[in-house]
Amino acid sequence: MPDIPLPTEPLPPPLPERAALFLDFDGTLVEIAPTPDAVQVPPTLLPALDRLAQRLDGALAVVSGRPMKDLDRFLPLPIVKVGDHGAALRLGPEAPVIGPNLPVPPPEWRARAAALAARFPGALLEEKAHGFVLHYRLAGPEAGEAARDLLASMVAEQPERFTLLAARKAWELRPRGVSKASAVAALMARPPFAGRVPVFIGDDATDEEGMAEARAAGGIGLRLQDAFGTPARLRAWLEEAVAQAAEDDASAGSGAPSAAPAAETGRARRAPPSDIPPPPKPSPEGAC
């Protein structure tokens, strides 16, 4: 009887030289949680991001749909952060939060969204500066259908100003004019990102915009599920990238040949990142 090959985990690519790294937060750097506040940040993630940002001369950004205050709470690091899908951008710990002039949903819309969340036990309204999210993970599919219909009716009232986004067990009302793609483009036009190879890693529909922008700029867009499998494997890859950079520095100082890239150590060599095909379009239920 022939041997049946066992399924293998995805083999992450090595980080390109002079990379500019863009990372989603929920579902990418950390596992999805039942509620936004229940997210757990592993203790090894913060030092890995801090060291890798230094190795990239600051060209590392977390690009999330979360408000900036959430990113500061979960990631208290002096790194570039993008919140609210590109509506808020901060280049450093002392830098101001900047962003385009965007519409704000009418108060009546927020009140209607809050009333819907109150109708379904477990539903949650997440407020943002220029929009809001209705989460139904703990409330069931009926709440999801009601949330979708309500937010779609709001967008229909002002379609030139707002759009509807599908997220993982959630529906989000977002202003038009910003996206993770616009955030990547804005950062790639300024130091320390300019002139580098953009690498965007995310797990959901909103991240596809950032991946597409990275590819359009000559870089790489990686869907977490295809390239890494899980957030834990991505975090290990980030730690390996830091360790490899330290080995390369030590080898350069001693004149010894450098070791194989960390992502390839002990494994068959992978095709260059530029050969990685665009990932398949994800299902509508992606994370913010």
Residues classed as catalytic: 24
Non-local (6+) Cβ contacts of 30 within 8 A are: 39, 40, 41, 42, 45, 74, 231
CB distance 34 to 138 below 8 Å: yes
Q: How far apart are CA 84 and CA 206, in angstroms?
A: 11
Q: How far apart are CA 277 and CA 117, in angstroms?
A: 40
Q: How far apart are CA 150 and CA 139, in angstroms?
A: 16
**Dihedrals phi, psi of 135, to nearest 5 degrees:** -95, 135
Q: How far apart are CA 214 and CA 219, in angstroms?
A: 5
CB distance 172 to 165 below 8 Å: yes
Q: Which of 132, 131, 134, 154 is nearest to 144 (CA)?
A: 134
